[in-house]
Amino acid sequence: MGKKKSDRKYAVIAAAVLLFALAMLLGACVGTGTGPVNTEAPETAVPCFHEDKVWVDTVEATCTEEGVAGHYVCTACGDCFDRDGNPAVDLRIPPTDHDYVFDSFVWSGDHTTAKARYVCRNNAEHIETYDAEVTGGVITEPTCQHTGSAEYTASYDGNVKTEQVTLSTVPHDFSIPEGNYFLLSACSVCGAHTTTRREGEHTYDDKFVIDYTSEKGEEIDRIFLEVVSEIEKNILAPGEEAPAFVKDSELYKANKAFENDYFSKFQEQYDYMVGQNLICEVLYFVNYGDRALASKFGDISLAFSNVSAEYYTLYALVYNTRFRNYFYSEEDGWTQDDIDKMVSYASVYTDEKMVEANAEMTNITNEFYEIMDPAFSDKVPELYEKYIALANAFGKAQGYSNYLEAAYDLVYGRSYTPNDAATIRTYIKKYFSEILLTLAHAAGQPDIDDPNKLVNLFDLQGSVTFFNSGIACDAIYSYLERLGSLEGAEKNLNFADELNTVFKTNKYFRGIYDTAFTGTIDPLELTIMYFSEGYYSTPTALVHEFGHYMNEIRNGSDISYDIAEIQSQGNESLFIYFLNKYIADNLSTNSEIPRMITLNMLLDSFSTILLTAAVDEFEYLCYTGTYDGTDPAIISILSDGKVDASEFDSLFKQVLTDYGIAGLGFEDYWRGVTLSSPGYYISYAVSLIPSVCLFDKAVEEGLDAAIESYKRFFTFTDEDRNLSFEEVVSYAGLDSPFDESLYIRLRDLANDFAAGKTIFEN
């Protein structure tokens, strides 16, 4: 039976008392000095016979403390006895003292100093150190790219130790100018350039997000119905004329209330969807191949298509109300031509079949974006055949003969028709085809049939982009500083400062999808640029897109695409001219290098003009099914008045043959552009021609004179925003692409440089 808790308690107390007594007795034994212990009892004490003794083990001495020998202690009187029972005389054991021996050397972090470490053999916790003598040093200095080496020897009292040390690479020493977020800086240690520029502020990270939801879609639909309901209250009765515009009348005020309280609310939703569509497209391109983003992009682009249909439906409905002459007033900038175009365009969206066709066109485009390599996909011709049929129906519903005519006018804002463009295409074929081979040979590329041998702008310095080359960035920035500022707007816009702002606020994106573009999100007042890796992030690609960027932040995005492309491609042409002197001053004394770059620009420009004109003619044939030429192969393909999916490839190859650029690797080019940008590519041709004219002007009159002409393509809006393409070109001091003499002059320019002409700054 176990003890009770109370019994246990008293047992513990008794044991504690006994231990305390033994401790007191032990203290008495060892605290008596060196003489014998006094065991004599007082006269009145009872004699002790030491019958009950306990053994106390030895306490060993340390280096610094005495020990106590093992002994017996009488539990009755506390007297101490040795192992044989004799009274103890002195139980103390003297300290042993230290016995230090060498253990090791302890090095400093850089191995330039060391301590000799000694450890006591009697107690390993007792350690002493002494300064050692260190000799040796660095054998190989480290750099930004390679580790170094060193050797050090420590010695003390006959002990010696040598250590080999690896020295870590040192950081790059980049002196990026304070406040500059674009330039890359050369490392003062190794001379290398880095892909790292000064970290931007990521100003728009919290705004550049996809936040569209199905609930948001329902809200937009509700606002649309509210606007429609208000419109229906003001519909004209059969035979009723829309009231004439009278400033400050009751109807004037009622229309303003309608615009502010109803139409503007839906305008905000439309602008929101424009932004969401662009944001989603950019993020999809950045992360191309992400299935979740692809699905989101499909959903949002379709929702945007539906909201666009609702938006233009409202314009059509308002035209049939008593607000017509107030809503579409001169006071708000409407011309009769603007009104006619808008009503024609908008009326299509009141047709349910056309709304469905527009949605299906969007689906086809999204399906095309999902194709990783259009050049090898059998699906592209099938999609293009369907798209043409839907698009032509869409164009005809708007009063045009085909979609290409509608796109020229309504989408791209051109002041000429596809039939007018045929004149330009005729001149291009007549004067430019013959010089391509001449330029290729002059550029040192006799094997023009091998597209891989076409010179790339900076291949002469290596394969670089503005993401990884300090030389490229410095050239771009120096050029933009030479451009100076655009004056005459609300504020002066300095080219170099604005590029720095783009990189400071991170208004650019890098992605996987192979393209480059510029876009504006109006609700965020944000203009961004997108670049894929490689070809679409070369120095000329940035200069090109930055021309678009400068226009959009100054004039907005509703500029004719032909003018917009002069703003970008003209920037490239002047940049190439600038590079001639820049390279000679900074990179090479070899005069052939600037000349080769000039030849490459001319070769690229003329081949692009020929290629994009060929794309436009190919699209014209596909959308119209008609052909006015004499090529028997094309006549045969169009014998039934249309082009089938199986005939697209052969038709495009034949068109390339007519333009003298067959066999250059462009045979699949139509597959990548005609679905993503239908009707667009003539803008490249008609804008590149004035762009090469800017280069020619720089050659003849100097770079500053050409820059002044170039800036007029931005500032013409200060004079008259509604100038036609030809009027803007004339305003800039250049000849029209409809003028045959221009083609002769540019052909002669190319031949001069092919024959050995070089540029001299004047």
Nearest C-alpha neighbor of 510 from the set 466, 548, 544: 466
Which range, of 48-57, 115-124, 331-340, 581-590, averages the lowest pLDDT?
Answer: 581-590
Closest CA to 193 of 202, 203, 183: 183
Please count the residues of the chain: 762
8 A C-beta contact, residue 80 and residue 88: yes
Integer Cα distance of 528 and 489 in angstroms: 20
Tokens of 656: 């390339």
**Looking up tokens 């409202």, which residue turns up?**
314
For 627-654, write each residue's pLDDT tens digit.
Answer: 988 999 999 999 999 999 999 999 999 9
Q: Is 50 left (phi over 0), alpha (psi -120 to 50) or beta?
A: left
328 confidence band (pLDDT: 50, 70, 90): very high
DSSP 484: -
User: Which 3 state secondary structure label does DSSP give 640?
Assistant: coil
Count Cα neighbours of 162 within 13 Å in the Cβ-side half-sphere.
6
The answer to whether 547 touches 571, Cβ cutoff 8 Å, is: yes
Confidence of residue 561 (pLDDT cuts 50, 70, 90): confident
Tokens, residue 751: 């031949």
The pLDDT tens digits of the residues spanning 137-160 come to: 999 988 877 899 999 999 999 999
Starting at the edge strand that comes first in sequence, how are the strands of the sheet with 100-107 ordered? 100-107, 114-120, 127-131
Which 3 state secondary structure label does DSSP give 110? coil
Q: Which of 731, 660, 744 is nearest to 696 (CA)?
A: 744
Tell me: pLDDT of 584 over 80. Answer: no
Distance of CA 655 to the CA centre of its chain: 37
Closest Cα to residue 664, out of 619, 608, 620, 616? 608
What is the C-alpha end-to-end distance of the chain, expressed in Å? 119
- Distance CA(686)–CA(726), nearest Å, equals 10
The tally of CA atoms less than 13 A away on the side-chain side of residue 165 is 23
Asked whether the beta carbons of 122 and 62 are under 8 A apart, the reply is: yes
Residue 26, pLDDT > 50, answer: no
What is the rounded CA–CA span in Å between residue 495 and residue 483?
Answer: 7
Provide the mean pLDDT of the chain: 86
State how far the Cα of 580 lies from the Cα of 58, in Å rounded to an integer. 97
Distance, in Å, from the CA atom of 494 to the CA atom of 632, rounded to the nearest integer, reads: 54
DSSP tally for the chain: helices H, then strands E: 23, 16
The CA distance from 121 to 101, in Å, is 7
Q: Encoding tokens for residue 226?
A: 């509210």
Angle between helices 470-483 and 495-504 (to 10 degrees): 130
- What does the pLDDT look like over 56-114, one tens digit per residue? 999 988 888 889 989 999 988 889 998 888 898 888 888 888 899 999 999 998 899 99
**In which band, very low, low, confident or very high, does the pLDDT at 193 lie, cut at 50, 70 and 90?**
low
Tokens of 639: 């014998």
8 Å CB contact between 433 and 653: no
Is residue 751 within 8 A of residue 438, CB to CB? The reply is yes
Q: Report which of 169, 172, 165, 230 is spatially closest to residue 196, judged by C-alpha positions.
A: 172
pLDDT score of 42: 47
Band of pLDDT at residue 13, cut at 50, 70 and 90: very low
CA distance linking residue 199 with residue 194, whole number of Å = 13
pLDDT exceeding 90 applies to what percent of the chain? 55
pTM over 0.95: no
The answer, yes or no, to whether residue 5 has pLDDT greater than 50, is no
Higher pLDDT, 200 or 542: 542
When the candidates are 1.10.1370.30, 1.20.1250.20, 3.60.15.10, 3.50.50.60, the CATH number that belongs to 420-485+493-505+516-754 is 1.10.1370.30
What is the pLDDT, as a whole number, of residue 442? 81
Q: Is-contact 565 684, C-beta < 8 A?
A: yes
What is the pLDDT averaged over residues 371-377? Answer: 88
Q: What is the reported pLDDT for 45? A: 61
Phi, psi of 509 (to 5 degrees): -135, 145
Q: Does residue 220 carry a pLDDT above 70?
A: yes
Q: Which two tokens stand for residue 134?
A: 């260190």
List the chain domain ranges.
5-93, 100-167, 214-370, 420-485+493-505+516-754
What is the distance of C-alpha 96 from the center of its chain? 75
**Residue 378 and residue 70: Cα distance in Å, rounded?**
102
In angstroms, the CA 659 to CA 429 distance is 5
Rounded CA-CA distance 170/208 in Å is 37
- Is residue 456 over pLDDT 90? no
User: Whole-angstrom Cα distance, residue 70 to residue 94?
Assistant: 14
User: Are the C-beta atoms of residues 187 and 144 closer than 8 Å to each other?
Assistant: yes
- Binned at pLDDT 50, 70 and 90, residue 310 comes out as very high
Residue 710 CA to residue 480 CA, distance in Å, equals: 13
131: Cβ contacts below 8 Å, ≥ 6 apart: 113, 115, 116, 156
Within 456-507, strands assigned E span 485-486, 493-494
Q: What is the mean pLDDT of residues 411-418?
A: 88
Higher pLDDT, 286 or 199: 286
Helices 214-232/264-286 angle, 10° precision: 150
HSE on the CB side for 627, CA within 13 Å? 24
pLDDT tens, residue by residue, 475-524: 999 999 999 999 887 778 999 999 999 999 999 999 988 899 999 988 88
One-letter amino acid of 178: E
Give the CA diameter of the chain. Answer: 152
Confidence bin at 590 (pLDDT 50/70/90): low
